[in-house]
Amino acid sequence: MNTTLQTLKFNFGYKALLSIALASTCLISACTKTEITPYDEEPLARINSFKIINSTAEIPGAINENEKTITVTIPAGVYLTTLEPEIALSEGSTLKVGADSLITNLINYFAEGATREINYPVTATDGSSATYRLHIKTNQPPLEMGEVSQDASNPQAYDQTLWFTNNYVYILNTLKTYPYSTNFEFDMTLAQASLIGEDGTEYKFKSAQSGTPPIIESAYMLLNLNNIIGRVTGSGSGTTYNQTPPAGLYKIKLRYYSRETTLKNPIRIFYNN
């Protein structure tokens, strides 16, 4: 064979193999290329766990790290008026002095529509900081109270003329054992009530009662119209029974712990002098 031809064949084959090898190397390199993302260390200012410990069974708080919220849900049938939290922080973090280590007046928290903010500011040695907001919820069932006035066009009437007349208003619940107290008692820590006038004026009761059978056939809330704030002033011989609220139509607003309802049909209050 011609020596020149052999040399050309060898050179062509060598170059072809070299091209294939280089292409393969580039392909492998492209397939195995790794993108390196810079690592951001998590800030130390964190709440790792949150739970309520003054209950028969501990109540855990659900922490949303993105929104910096803690949600505590009180189980059905549990009516805590004070919450004592146990808070675990990440190492190197501290909680602001004065943050709510004891949460009181829960019925007011619910009555205010959770506008009362409960915050937990956390700072850390690395200079980071975070503030967590606490949300308190309950699994308490809704209030399903029966109407006192069965006919809205013919309201139940109460004569408040005589000072010694205690007009009691029984409001039955469709759930026969709720809201309840184990005994007939003033339940000022859990129950609240008021009358709402046609002009929107609210007249609050100093206390509301709740009870269960066998006193009457169903669970109920009980109001005394003489217990409306402003109805009685003074004491002893100087006691005065005022015409509070004025004669008129009123709707009854009730609260038991976290639940609130307003009866649809009004009652009527009148005075004969």
More confident residue, 113 or 110: 110
Q: What is the pTM of this model?
A: 0.76
Q: Examine the pLDDT at 3 and tell me if it is beyond 70.
A: no
Q: What is the mean pLDDT of the chain?
A: 84
In the prediction, which pLDDT does 19 show?
53
More confident residue, 78 or 63: 63
As its CATH architecture, domain 156-270 has Sandwich (2.60)
Mean pLDDT of the 217-241 span: 91
Mean pLDDT of the 194-202 span: 98
Q: Examine the pLDDT at 137 and tell me if it is beyond 50.
A: yes
Mean pLDDT of the 223-232 span: 96
Domains 47-138 and 156-270 share a fold: yes
Chain Cα centroid distance, residue 196: 25
In the prediction, which pLDDT does 188 show?
55
Phi, psi dihedrals of residue 111, rounded to the nearest 5°: -65, -30
Residues in the chain, total: 273
As its CATH architecture, domain 47-138 has Sandwich (2.60)
Boundaries of every domain in the chain = 47-138, 156-270
In the prediction, which pLDDT does 181 show?
57
Cβ atoms within 10 Å of 168's Cβ, excluding its own? 12
In the prediction, which pLDDT does 39 show?
53
In the prediction, which pLDDT does 114 show?
66
